[in-house]
Amino acid sequence: MSFSCAENPQGKDFKDYFSRTDIVEVSGKEIPLKVIGNPLSFMFNMSFFDSLILVNEFPDREYTYKLIDLREKSVRPFGKKGEGPNELLSDGFSFSFDHENELLFLSDNIHYYVFDIEDVKNGNQKPKDMFTIDQQEKRFMGNTVHVDSFIVGSMYHKRFGAYNIENESFLNKEEYEGGPSMALANQAFYINHPTEKKAVYCMSQVPEFGILEIQEPEIKVNKFSWGVTNLSVQNGNGSMAVMVNENEKFEFMSVAASEDYIFILYSGEIPADRSREARVKAALTNTIYVLDWKGKPLKRYKTDRYLRSIAIDGNTNTLYGSTYEENPGLISYKLNNIP
């Protein structure tokens, strides 16, 4: 069985791709948290590094993130919005940890801020460095991550891009089917490999994920796809908007990565109707799909709670999941015998 073939993935859909893997039921422990400021509300995306979990909370009017410190079991706001020094200009949600150099990268899609992890642990919200990527011709769209001296993500004119921070140059790859205007209908989110020049991307409304590797002077893409987007893009009055139809399906919801494994929350559900409640329900899942960095399916974990996002402590194989409730919680799961 070949898992490197991008054009002919195994099975009829993502769930079928895992049909021959074992399912293991796991029970979690809720972590009691002391919250400073506004309570946790959305927990759209999160990532783990060295006792810290950074959580996206962009609906908060004052801060884009919450920082969960597992040493103290505390939650405090992080990433202040505004136009002042070191403040985020938009509700941008790009963040990633540089594990080797113990750094945190944040972006508001205009500026990139670099924080020292020890400073973050000590409550210092002042970045140690900042840089800006030229936004004129080659622009990233949506989520980006730091990958070993590169910023990696999707671009408006190409599906995959990598920006070399040191020499300020771009690598890019693959046209959008239907042209650049379809970029909005093909948005992906990324997570970086902890130490190598790799990243995994997943698409929330397209049945596709893939693994990127930067091999200068190009980007290698190992793609696993079961179809194309059902969304269309409408132009008018100098703007573009994504048009949703009744066949809209929620696909990949969240992804986490360790040195050896990729962990995916996958829905595959069509909302029962257009209500908020139906959409929230379709976005939640209680199955963790585990792959290696070649995209080979290894195992499925069935959790005792429905989750919205996940993060992984690769040193202890502890998976953290966020619930989506009136008062969202943080749940920990010990994953044993992954291979």
Beta-bridge partner residues of 327 = none
The encoded tokens of residue 245 equal 């139809």
Phi-psi region of 71 (alpha: psi -120 to 50; beta: other; left: phi over 0): alpha
Q: What is the pLDDT of residues 144-203, one digit of tens each?
A: 999 999 999 999 889 999 999 999 999 999 999 888 888 888 889 999 999 999 999 999
At residue 138, does pLDDT exceed 80? no
Where does the pLDDT of residue 96 fall: very low under 50, low under 70, confident under 90, or very high at 90 and above?
very high
What is the reported pTM? 0.92
Give 225-238 as a DSSP string. Answer: ES-----EEEEETT
E strand residue ranges, 165-280? 169-173, 188-192, 198-203, 208-215, 218-225, 232-236, 239-243, 250-257, 261-269
Cα–Cα distance for residue pair 193/201, rounded to 1 Å: 11
Q: How confident is the model at residue 6 (pLDDT cuts 50, 70, 90)?
A: very low
Q: What is the mean pLDDT of the chain?
A: 89
Contact 283, 308 (CB under 8 A): yes
Rounded Cα distance between 157 and 179, Å, is 8
* Dist. CA 34–CA 253, nearest whole Å: 27
Could you tell me which residue, 177 or 293, shows the higher pLDDT? 293
Instruction: Report DSSP state, residue 14.
Output: H
Q: Is 331 helix (H, G, I), strand (E, B) or coil?
A: strand
- Burial level of 292, CB count in 10 A (0-12/13-18/19+)? middle
Range picked from 37-46, 55-64, 245-254, 264-273 for highest mean pLDDT: 264-273
Which positions ≥6 away from 308 have C-beta within 8 Å? Answer: 43, 44, 253, 254, 265, 283, 284, 321, 322, 323, 324, 328
Position 107 pLDDT exceeds 80: yes
